[in-house]
């Protein structure tokens, strides 16, 4: 299998954390790519017409894309057990969607203020993305800490990768101040070997 990969992407990192947690990082060849919404660059649009990563090329089937599709596939293939049985599964999927939503809003903020040409940038639009993130962080702090503190699953991994991306690309935002319990959870989760092995370079 080949994973089209950029280490700064929180969505790629989700896949990589799963592989490390499953002890299977050596089963996937990493293919470095780069691109952005204005130019797909070296992202293989013949395999993912949306021009996004991660994308997982596999033998005997079409390339998989979207991190949630790839993680479900790999979890099944590797029998990693990171998607629990129902009814806990539904909470895991909601938390995973929350993490992906935080990551998506944070990536869009970066594109808006760093990639979009200066005359077209909208600070107000970027702040609207941050408000989405703030609401999601509040929901995690108020509603989901007990789940995050349970057995490791893809919901926790998605949140860990999203919070790591906030630190990586939006370090000027003090997300911890209003969410001390979530911050404490993340400090512990970020110390896991799989998270340490996949941390993007500063």
Structure tokens at 33: 């790519």
Q: What is the pLDDT of residue 202?
A: 65
Residue 141's H or E segment, with its range, is: none
**For residues 161 and 17, is the Cβ–Cβ distance under 8 A?**
yes
Token pair, residue 73, equals: 């596939």
Sign of the alpha-carbon torsion through 190, 196, 200, 202 = positive
Domains and CATH numbers, the chain: 2-78 (3.40.30.10), 88-193 (1.20.1050.10)
Closest CA to 16 of 167, 193, 202, 178: 193
Q: State the Cα–Cα distance between residues 186 and 152, nearest whole angstrom.
A: 13
Distance CA 197, CA 18 (A): 11
Helix ranges restricted to H, the chain: 10-21, 67-78, 88-110, 123-139, 145-148, 154-169, 180-189, 193-198
39 beta partners: 36
From CA 164, how far away is CA 183, in angstroms rounded? 11
Per-residue pLDDT tens digits for 77-122? 999 999 999 999 999 999 999 999 999 999 999 999 988 899 999 9
Specify the pLDDT at position 115.
87
Find residue 29's DSSP bridge partners. Answer: 2
pLDDT, tens only, 35-87:
988 899 999 999 999 999 999 999 989 999 999 999 999 999 999 999 999 99
At residue 48, φ and ψ (nearest 5 deg) are: -130, 100
Mean pLDDT calculated for residue range 171-196: 97
């Amino acid at each position: 299998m080949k994973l089209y990969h950029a280490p700064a992407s929180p969505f790629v990192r989700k896949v990589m954390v799963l592989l490390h947690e499953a002890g299977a990082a050596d089963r996937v060849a990493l293919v470095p790519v780069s691109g952005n919404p204005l130019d797909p660059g070296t992202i293989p649009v013949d395999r993912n017409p949306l021009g996004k990563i991660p994308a997982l090329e596999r033998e005997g089937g079409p390339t998989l894309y979207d991190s949630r599709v790839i993680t479900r596939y790999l979890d099944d293939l590797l029998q990693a057990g990171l998607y629990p049985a129902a009814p806990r599964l539904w909470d895991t999927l909601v938390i995973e969607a929350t993490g992906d939503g935080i990551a998506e809003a944070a990536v869009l903020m970066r594109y808006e203020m760093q990639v979009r040409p200066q005359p077209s940038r909208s600070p107000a639009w970027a702040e609207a993305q941050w408000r989405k993130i703030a609401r999601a962080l509040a929901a995690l702090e108020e509603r989901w800490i007990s789940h995050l503190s349970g057995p490791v699953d893809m919901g926790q991994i998605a949140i860990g990768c999203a919070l790591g991306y906030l630190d990586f690309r939006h370090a000027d935002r003090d997300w911890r101040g209003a969410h001390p319990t979530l911050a404490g959870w993340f400090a512990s989760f970020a110390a896991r070997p799989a998270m340490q092995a996949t941390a993007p370079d500063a």
